[in-house]
Chains A and B, each alone.
Chain A
């Protein structure tokens, strides 16, 4: 069974640009989560999508947004990039019910110059 996949692996942008990161969940999972792992700040929850709806978001500004498609894949968009947005962005997926254990993808390394 394929795990969570993310693309691209690496992304280099300049300040002020927009970045789009993509995630495909494990087959059968309907929930997708995004986390940011920035140097020195640890892993922080960004967004949770389920059944196409944003269910919850962490303490991040509105320029971090996303969506979930009918096939449950997801996009994370970061507008007006700032240098401190440089981080590893991790996507996870889970079933909607039950233990909702989250399985993570390999991440997208975003570098903002």
Chain B
């Protein structure tokens, strides 16, 4: 079945790197996504990785995928106060439902 898990909270200092972790259970996942949600707002797509990739880098963001352990991580380099938000990991299975299954979200707090 589908289940995506994330830790609930992460606190870092401005300028440090943040690493947000996610585990998923469905081995048929084809795409894995990271979304950002600021208070009172919708979801902003940050990045995604196809399941046959190990790593993807996009400016300050690095996504690492360990398919064997079904573990996904998002690293934010040089974290800024504007990065404070809730970060959601989501998996997509291309065939069938087409629905995203989301983790519970990790609240990132960046301290000045």
Footprint of B on A, CB under 8 Å?
Answer: 4, 6, 31, 33, 35, 42-43, 45, 48, 55-56, 58, 90, 92, 99-107
Contacts and interface: CB of A to CB of B under 8 A. Distances in A.
A55 B99 CA distance: 10
Interface stretch (B14-22, B43-51, B63-71, B73-81): B43-51
Contacts, number: 58
Contact of A99 (B31, B41, B96): B31
Contact of A100 (B41, B42, B94): B94
Contacts of A33: 98-100
Given A99-B48, A101-B31, A107 B98 contact: no
Interface string B12-48: 0000000000000000000101010000011111001
A56 B45 contact: no
Contacts of A35: 100
Interface residues of B, number: 24
A35 B66 CA distance: 28
Nearest to B96: A56
B42 A106 contact: yes
A103 B42 CA distance: 10
Interface of B: 31, 33, 35, 41-45, 48, 50, 88, 90, 92, 94, 96-105
Nearest to A109: B40
Given A90-B43, A101-B33, A42 B105 contact: yes
